[in-house]
Amino acid sequence: MHLSLSLSAVFSTGALLLGRAGVHTSRAGTPTAASIAVPEASQLAQLARMTTLSIDTGDLDIIKAYGATGLITDATTNPLFVSQAGLSGDARYIAFVDSAIAYAKKNAKGTEAVLELAMDRLAVELGLEIVKLVPGYVSTEVDIRASFDTEESIARARRIIAMYEAAGVPRTRVLVKLAGTWEGIQAAKVLEKEGITCNITLIFGFIQAVAAAQAGARLISPFPGRIKDWAGANGGKKAYEPSEDPGVKSVSRMYAYYKKFGHENTICMPASWRPSRSTPADKIAEHATDEIVALAGVDRMTIPPSILDQLAATQEPLLRQLTPAAASAACADSIVGDGDISEAEFRFALNADVCATTKMAEGINMFVAETLKLEAALRGKL
Ligand SMILES: *[C@@H]1O[C@H](CO)[C@@H](O)[C@H](O)[C@H]1NC(C)=O
C-alpha cells in the first residue's frame, strides 16, 4: 500500500508505473542498478543504526538494489503491489501469474477455489522472490475480504505458510498480514501459538495496538501519515511541528505503552509518511522525512524508495527520539483491560476513536478494490 508516502501516493501513481516497464521500474530517478551509494554520514545510514528498516515497494529491482546496501532488512507484498505486478506487462511478473495459475489448477478444484488459490499463490510467488533479496521478514497479506472472519483468516494464513514451507522458506521468515480488526487480531492470537508470526496492519488507533500486543502479534504497522491526514481533514491543523504531529504522537504512545507493559515481543513498525510541516499537496520535499525523523529509534520502519533516496542524500545529524527506557518512564497510560481486553471493550474503544474507525474502513475498502481488480484479471486467464 504503502501506504507510505503512502499508500495513497503510490496508489495514485500506480497507474502510470504499470506501463511497460513493470511495477515501479519506470519511476524517474530511482536506481535500478544493483548498487546504491549510501554514505555513512547520511541520515539513512544513521537511521539504520537505530531502527530496523523495511522497503515499501513491490518492485523487485528496487528491493534488490536497496537490499544490497545492507541497510534494508525486510520487505512486504500487499494487494496493491501484487495487483500491480499481476497486471503489469513485465515478463517476469507475467511468469509469476502463469505459474500461480498453473499451481492453483493443479491444487484446487472448481473455478472459484482455483481463483482463490491463484490469488494467494501469486502473493507467495512474489514473496519467494523477495526472501532472496532481503535477510529479514517478508510479509504476505491474507485476503483482505476475510478481515471480519477469524476462521477464514486462520485457514488462509496456514495455507500461505504451507506454500512457503513447501518451497523451503521457514515460517520464521514470513509475516502474515491481517487487518487490525477484532477478528484479525483473534486470528493472530491462534496463529502465533503455531509459530505463524503476524503483521497486524491498518493500525490507526491506540486500542488496536494494545489488542494486537495482548494477542501476542509479532508486529504492528501503524500509519502515522494517514492519521495526520485524518486530523487535517477533521478540524485539526494542516501543518504541525513534527513532535506535535498527531501521527507521530499516536505512534509514540503505542511504542511507549509496549515498553512500559513488557510487550517486547511485539514490534512497533510504522509505515505511511506525510510531511508534518506542510500539506502533502505542497510537495515540499524537504519536509517529507519529518515524521520519520521525529520517530527515529522506533523498533522498525517501512519506508518507500523515494524517501529512502532522500534520506540517503541528506547528511544532517539524526537524533534518536525514542528509546525504550525514556518512553516507558514517560508513558501516562495504565494497563488496558487488565492485560486481556474483551471484545466489547475493544469495539467500544475503537468506535470512540473516529479516526481509527474511519481510516481502517477506508484502508480495507481500498485493498478490497485492488483485490477485485486483480481477481478479475486472473479470472480472465483461467
Ligand atoms: C507489515 O505490513 C505493513 C503494512 O502493509 C508493511 O508496510 C510492513 O513493511 C510490513 N512489515 C514487514 C516486516 O514486512
- What rounded mean pLDDT belongs to the chain? 89
> Each residue of 336-353: pLDDT tens digit?
999 999 999 999 999 999
pLDDT higher than 90, residue 11: no
Q: Which atom of ligand 1 is nearest to the CA of 136?
A: 13
356 in contact with ligand 1, CB cutoff 6 A: no
> Each residue of 135-176: pLDDT tens digit?
999 999 999 999 999 999 999 999 999 999 999 999 999 999
Question: In which band, very low, low, confident or very high, does the pLDDT at 29 lie, cut at 50, 70 and 90?
Answer: very low
Within 13 Å and on the Cβ side, how many CA atoms surround 52? 13
Q: Which residues are bridge partners to 179 per DSSP?
A: 201
pLDDT higher than 80, residue 366: yes
Q: Which has the higher per-residue pLDDT, 34 or 113?
A: 113
The proportion of the chain whose per-residue pLDDT surpasses 90, expressed as a percent, equals: 79
Task: Give the CA-trace dihedral at 204, 206, 211, 214, to 10 degrees.
Answer: 130
**Which pLDDT score, from 0 to 100, does residue 65 have?**
93
- Give every CB contact of residue 95 below 8 A, 6+ residues apart in sequence: none
pLDDT higher than 80, residue 22: no
The residue-averaged pLDDT of 78-90 equals: 75
- The answer to whether 218 touches 199, Cβ cutoff 8 Å, is yes
The three cell numbers of residue 322 are 525514542
Q: Give me ligand 1 centre to Cα 134, in Å.
A: 13
> What are φ and ψ of residue 331, in 5° steps?
-70, 125
Q: Is the dihedral of CA 299, 184, 131, 6 positive or negative?
A: negative
Q: Give me ligand 1 centre to Cα 227, in Å.
A: 17
Taking residue 153's Cβ as centre, other Cβ atoms within 10 Å add up to 27
Taking residue 149's Cβ as centre, other Cβ atoms within 10 Å add up to 16
Cα Rg of the chain, angstroms: 20
The residue-averaged pLDDT of 243-269 equals: 98
Question: Would you call 284 exposed, middle or buried from its count of C-beta atoms within 10 A (0-12, 13-18, 19+)?
Answer: middle
202 in contact with ligand 1, CB cutoff 6 A: no
pLDDT higher than 50, residue 13: no
pLDDT higher than 60, residue 48: yes
64 in contact with ligand 1, CB cutoff 6 A: no
Known catalytic membership, residue 132: no
- The answer to whether 142 touches 181, Cβ cutoff 8 Å, is no
**Which pLDDT score, from 0 to 100, does residue 34 have?**
55
> Each residue of 212-242: pLDDT tens digit?
999 999 999 999 999 999 999 999 999 999 9
8 in contact with ligand 1, CB cutoff 6 A: no
Question: In which band, very low, low, confident or very high, does the pLDDT at 364 lie, cut at 50, 70 and 90?
Answer: very high
What's the distance, CA 296 to chain centroid? 18
**What's this model's pTM, rounded to 2 decimal places?**
0.90
Residue 341, amino acid: I
> Each residue of 277-304: pLDDT tens digit?
988 777 778 799 999 999 999 999 999 9
278 in contact with ligand 1, CB cutoff 6 A: no
Taking residue 41's Cβ as centre, other Cβ atoms within 10 Å add up to 12
The residue-averaged pLDDT of 248-263 equals: 98
CA distance to 47, 67, 96, 108, 216, per residue, from 189 (Å): 32, 31, 32, 28, 6
Residue 288, amino acid: A
Q: Which CATH class is domain 38-379?
A: alpha beta
The C-alpha atoms of residue 347 and residue 185 are separated, in whole angstroms, by 12
280: nearest Cα among 221, 317, 316, 233: 233
The C-alpha atoms of residue 103 and residue 162 are separated, in whole angstroms, by 14
**Which pLDDT score, from 0 to 100, does residue 21 have?**
28
Q: Which of 64, 132, 177, 193 is catalytic?
A: 177
Question: In which band, very low, low, confident or very high, does the pLDDT at 26 lie, cut at 50, 70 and 90?
Answer: very low
The residue-averaged pLDDT of 58-85 equals: 86
- Cβ-count burial 351-370 (b if 16+ within 10 Å, e if not): eebebbeebbebbbebbeeb
The C-alpha atoms of residue 324 and residue 262 are separated, in whole angstroms, by 10
**Which pLDDT score, from 0 to 100, does residue 5 have?**
24
The three cell numbers of residue 237 are 491543523
Question: In which band, very low, low, confident or very high, does the pLDDT at 18 lie, cut at 50, 70 and 90?
Answer: very low
Quick one: how many helices (H) and strands (E) in the chain? 16, 8
The C-alpha atoms of residue 205 and residue 227 are separated, in whole angstroms, by 9
Say if strands 52-55 and 267-268 run parallel, antiparallel, or are unpaired: unpaired
299: nearest Cα among 76, 47, 52: 52
